[in-house]
């Protein structure tokens, strides 16, 4: 069973045209798009549905579309759609496979300019073009196959393997967390690349990390950081990525864009 699981996993290898990396992919691009479209309404409803402010929706869509159109993401084949969710308490942004990208009003209202928004959206677009969900599915398929093998190998004479399966499941969860952190790091790196290609100053993404760190207020961290590396460490890594991309300094033509209307500094209704 373990050998069959590994063979099936190895057969899913593909080269990602955006990152140039070889990945294990569990579903096709068309399946990713279908899955994202099917899941989007239910996921949006969990965060209060679409924000009713049409101008905010238009502004966020405009920045997201600029990030896609001005970067390598435009040739990815995914159907990107950007939407602000009405939730003013949960600081979060997320992407579904295939292209739907969401940001809560609670996070949007903490951002100060278009470049910071472009960094958040670029990070989420990075998850999509990085095919992280499809990678996770392939890994889950491997894990399930290995769990079955462990359960059989460690069963006693009466076939009881619950304890061994629980231990294996715990180890698998630790591995999933590690993979998630790697995905987040790559999404940060892709966020820098995509927002820069679209004309935004990537240093704004470092400012986002500081905003997210302060959003916790010493309490529970924002949902956006729940599976992510420490924001301080991420800021340091982002500085390294930017320095490697622009060894002579960030070009002056890369912009912070306009201030965000409704940002926390100027909107009394912001949390």
Rg of the Cα atoms in the chain = 20
User: Is 65 in the active site?
Assistant: no
Annotated active-site residue in 112, 124, 135, 189: 124
With vertex at residue 241, the alpha carbon angle to CA 75 and CA 99, rounded to the nearest 5 degrees, is: 30
Structure tokens at 192: 């820098």
Residues 91, 110 contacting (CB under 8 angstroms): yes
Sign for the pseudo-dihedral over CA of 267, 268, 270, 271: positive
The answer to whether the CB of 2 falls within 8 A of the CB of 149 is: yes
pLDDT along the chain (271 residues), means of 10: 48 75 78 86 93 96 98 95 96 90 96 98 94 73 44 44 46 44 88 98 95 68 51 84 97 95 44 32
- Distance (Å, rounded) from C-alpha 123 to C-alpha 82? 13
Q: What is the pLDDT of residue 232?
A: 60
Q: Residue 203: its pLDDT value, please?
A: 97
Q: Which residues of 244-262 are buried (b: 16+ CB within 10 A; e: fewer)?
A: eeeeeeeeeebebbeebeb
What three-state secondary structure class fits 72? helix
Confidence at residue 271, expressed as pLDDT on a 0 to 100 scale: 32
pTM > 0.75: yes
Q: What is the pLDDT of residue 255?
A: 97
Could you tell me if 194 and 130 are in contact, meaning their C-beta atoms sit under 8 angstroms apart?
Answer: no
Gap between the Cα atoms of 263 and 222, Å rounded: 17
């Amino acid at each position: 069973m373990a050998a069959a699981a590994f063979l099936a996993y190895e057969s899913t290898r593909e080269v990602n045209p955006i990152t140039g990396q070889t990945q294990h992919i569990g579903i096709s691009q068309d399946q990713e798009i279908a899955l994202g479209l099917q899941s989007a309404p239910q996921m949006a409803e969990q965060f209060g549905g679409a924000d009713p402010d049409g101008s905010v929706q238009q502004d966020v869509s405009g920045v997201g579309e600029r990030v896609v159109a001005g970067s390598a993401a435009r040739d990815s084949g995914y159907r990107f759609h950007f939407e602000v969710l009405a939730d003013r308490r949960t600081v979060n942004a997320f992407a579904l496979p295939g292209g739907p990208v969401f940001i809560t009003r609670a996070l949007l209202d903490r951002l100060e300019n278009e470049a910071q928004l472009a960094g958040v959206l670029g990070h989420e677009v990075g998850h999509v073009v990085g095919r992280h969900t499809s990678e996770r599915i392939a890994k889950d398929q491997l894990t399930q196959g290995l769990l079955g093998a462990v359960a059989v190998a460690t069963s006693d004479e009466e076939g009881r393997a619950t304890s061994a399966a629980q231990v294996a499941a715990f180890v698998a969860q630790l591995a999933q967390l590690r993979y998630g952190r790697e995905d987040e790091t790559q999404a940060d790196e892709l966020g820098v690349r995509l927002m820069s290609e679209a004309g935004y100053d990537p240093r704004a993404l470092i400012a986002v990390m500081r905003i997210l760190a302060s959003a916790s207020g010493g309490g529970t961290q924002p949902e956006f950081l729940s599976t992510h590396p420490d924001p301080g460490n991420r800021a340091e890594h982002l500085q390294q990525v930017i320095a490697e991309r622009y060894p002579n300094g960030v070009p002056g033509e890369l912009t912070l864009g306009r201030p965000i209307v409704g940002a926390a500094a100027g909107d009394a209704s912001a949390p």
